[in-house]
Amino acid sequence: MTILLNTLYITLPQAWLRLDNDTIHVEVERETRLRVPLHHIGSLVCLGNATLSTPLMHRLAEEGIGVVLCDEHGRFKARLEGPVSGNVLLRRAQHNCCEDTAFSLNLARSFIAGKIGNARRVLLRGARESRTEEEGKILSRAAENLAAALRALPGAATLDVLRGVEGEAARCYFAAINLLVRPDRRESFSMDGRSRRPPRDRMNALLSFLYALLMNDCRSAIEAAGLDPQMGYLHALRPGRAALALDLMEEFRPIADRLALTLVNRGQIDAKDFDLREGGAVLLNDKSRKTVLVSYQERKQEELAHPLFEHPMVLGLVPLVQARLLARTVRGEMETYLPFPVR
């Protein structure tokens, strides 16, 4: 049985983390703020200016507990881990498959199909729950456009054509996503397409933060499966870029989108939860980041059905399962990779 261990997020400014026997001891200005047993922790994510003692870093590496360092807005900065694990034969197969154009194209097609299919389900759900007939029709037409994109994927003969189909589907999706926001909140959370580095509106700021959290989970899943996170098939290879983690993340983006919409529509995140920075950047403030982190962790504990397995599992385990299915595909044990369909 696989146990979903918690991710400990440190958001306290000037936090000092040290090892106290088998416990992580968190202090701020010499005041104890938290004690967490090591066996409860699967990973540690520090957002902002946190400091870790050397004995703690050594122990975390020995226990296989990954440490991710991000800035206060969730952007990845560094990762600390122990000796590289994983099957060297699996990684060699992964690298060989990357040189196989047909294999790479088929795998990239699966990643994009998962993303577009799940995005389409978000739109269809919105159409069913729409408050007006007109908005329901707009959302239904957008879902039809995404269905057309899915039908176009088998005919895409190159990665560039495949990326073009995905890009057009993404533009159609984000053009319609404003209609999924409650009418009384649209003025504060409307978005004119996707913007990043930096985000230019509140919804993009919320999505960027959630995508950063999702990316950390997908990279951890890839490494747990013994794969090389930098050797991807859809995203271009660049030094320091976790291309395979980005590949795996694609099918899960609509899950983050739905969580963002839930937080906004329920009023858990409001206009006052964002800071406007010089140059037009919009970023979540400290209080709202904690709200999002708690909701993200709660979402990961929800049970759902996986089409390939008999028993339900929590959402937080699905990236791990998908990474292992990806490893089986690379080894030739599965004919094709099957993305996870969000219901």
| 55, 128: one domain | no
pLDDT recorded at residue 2: 36
Domains contained in the chain, number: 2
> What local confidence, expressed as pLDDT, does residue 116 receive?
96
| pLDDT for residue 74 | 67
Per-residue pLDDT of the chain (343 residues; tens, 9 = 90+): 334 457 788 877 788 899 988 889 888 888 888 888 888 887 788 877 888 899 998 998 888 887 888 776 667 777 777 766 557 888 899 899 988 999 999 999 999 999 999 999 999 999 998 888 888 899 999 999 999 999 999 999 999 999 999 999 999 999 999 999 898 888 888 887 777 777 888 999 999 999 999 998 898 888 878 888 899 998 888 887 889 999 999 999 999 999 999 999 998 988 898 888 877 788 888 888 888 988 998 898 888 888 887 778 888 888 888 998 999 999 888 889 999 998 7
In a domain, 338, yes or no: no
Torsion of CA 220, 307, 120, 252, to 10 degrees: -10
Residues 112 and 246 in one domain: yes
Q: Are residues 282 and 310 in the same domain?
A: yes
Which domain CATH number covers 45? 3.100.10.20
170 shares its domain with 142: yes
Same domain? 141 vs 198: yes
- Per the structure, the complete domain to which residue 112 belongs is given by 88-331
* Structure token digits, residue 215: 């990316």
Residue at which a domain ends, from 80, 106, 126:
80
257 and 204, same domain (yes or no): yes
Cα angle 268, 271, 274; round to 5: 95
Give the phi and the psi of residue 278 in degrees, each rounded to 5.
Answer: -60, 135
The span from the CA of 144 to the CA of 255, in Å, is 20
Query: According to the model, what pLDDT value does residue 320 have?
Result: 85
Sign of torsion over alpha carbons 262, 265, 268, 271: positive
Residues 146 and 291 in one domain: yes
Question: Same structural domain for residues 46 and 135?
Answer: no
The amino acid that residue 111 corresponds to is F
Mark whether 25 and 119 lie in a shared domain.
no
Say which CATH number the domain at 183 has: 1.20.120.920
Per-residue confidence (pLDDT) for residue 76, from 0 to 100: 72
Would you say residue 339 lies in a domain?
A: no
The sheet with strand 66-70 has its strands ordered as 6-10, 41-47, 66-70, 76-80
Same domain, 52 and 180: no
Q: State residue 142's pLDDT score.
A: 94
